Structure 1
Amino acid sequence: MKWLAKVLANRMKGVLAKVISKAQNAFVEGRQILGVVLIANEVIDSILKSNGGAILCKLDIEKAHDHVEWSFLLTIMEKMRFGEKWLKWIKWCLSKTSFSVLVNGTPSGFFQSSRGLRQGDPLSPYFFVIAMEALSCLLKRAVCGGFLSACQVRGREREGVEVSHLLFADDTLIFCEAHEEQMTFLCWLLMWFEAIFGLKVNLDKSELIPMDRVENVDDLAGELGCKVGRFPSTYLGMPLGASFNSMAAWDGIEERFRKRLAMWKQ
Structure 2
Amino acid sequence: LAAVIPDIVSDTQSAFVANRNILDGPFILNEIINWCKRKNKQALIFKVDFAKAYDSVRWDYLLDVLIAFGFGPNWCKWIRGIFSPAMASILVNGSPTFEFPFYCGLKQGDPLAPFLFILIMESLHISVSKAVNEGVFKGLSIHGSDPISHLFYANDAVFIG
Q: TM-score, length-normalised on structure 2?
A: 0.89
Equivalent position of 1:103 in the other structure: 92
Q: Residues 132 and 100 from structure 1, CA distance in 2 versus in 1: closer, same or farther, beyond 3 angstroms?
A: farther
Higher strand share: 1
> In the alignment, does 2:157 pair up with 1:168?
no
Q: Structure 1 residues 104, 126: closer, same or farther in 2, change over 3 A?
A: farther
AA matched with 2:47: K
Cα RMSD (Å): 1.8
Kindly indicate whether the alpha-carbon contact (under 8 Å) linking 2:86 and 2:103 is maintained by their aligned counterparts in 1.
Answer: no
The structure, 1 or 2, with the larger RCO (C-alpha pairs under 8 Å, 6+ apart) is 2
- Note the C-alpha offset of 1:74: 0.6
Instruction: Check whether the contact 2:54–2:106 (CA below 8 A) recurs between aligned residues.
Output: yes
User: What's the secondary structure of 1:57's corresponding residue?
Assistant: strand
Shift of 1:48: 2.4
SS in 2 for 1:58: strand
Closer, same or farther: CA 65–108 of 1 in aligned 2, 3 Å: farther
Structure 2 Cα separation of the partners of residues 99 and 26 of structure 1:
30
- Alignment equivalent of 1:148, drawn from 124, 137, 142: 137
Aligned 8 A contact 2:45 2:160 in 1: yes
> Which residue number in structure 1 is paired with residue 46 of structure 2?
57
Partner Cα distance (1:40, 1:70) in 2 = 32
Q: Distance in 1 between matches of 2:15 and 2:97?
A: 34
| TM-score, normalised via structure 1 length | 0.56
Work out the CA distance in 1 between the residues paired with 2:44 and 2:94: 44
Does the residue aligned with 1:72 lie in a helix, a strand or coil? helix
2:37 is the alignment partner of 1:48: yes
**Would you say 1:91 and 2:76 are equivalent positions?**
no
CA distance in 2, matches of 1:46, 1:77: 38
1:15-94 equivalent positions in 2, closer than 5 A: 15-94=4-83
Deviant stretches of 4+, over 6 Å: none
Tell me, in whole angstroms, the C-alpha distance in 1 between the residues paired with 2:156 and 2:30: 15
Q: How many residues align?
A: 161
Bigger helix share = 1
Unmatched tracts of structure 1, length 5 or more:
1-11, 177-266
Secondary structure at 2:142 match in 1: strand
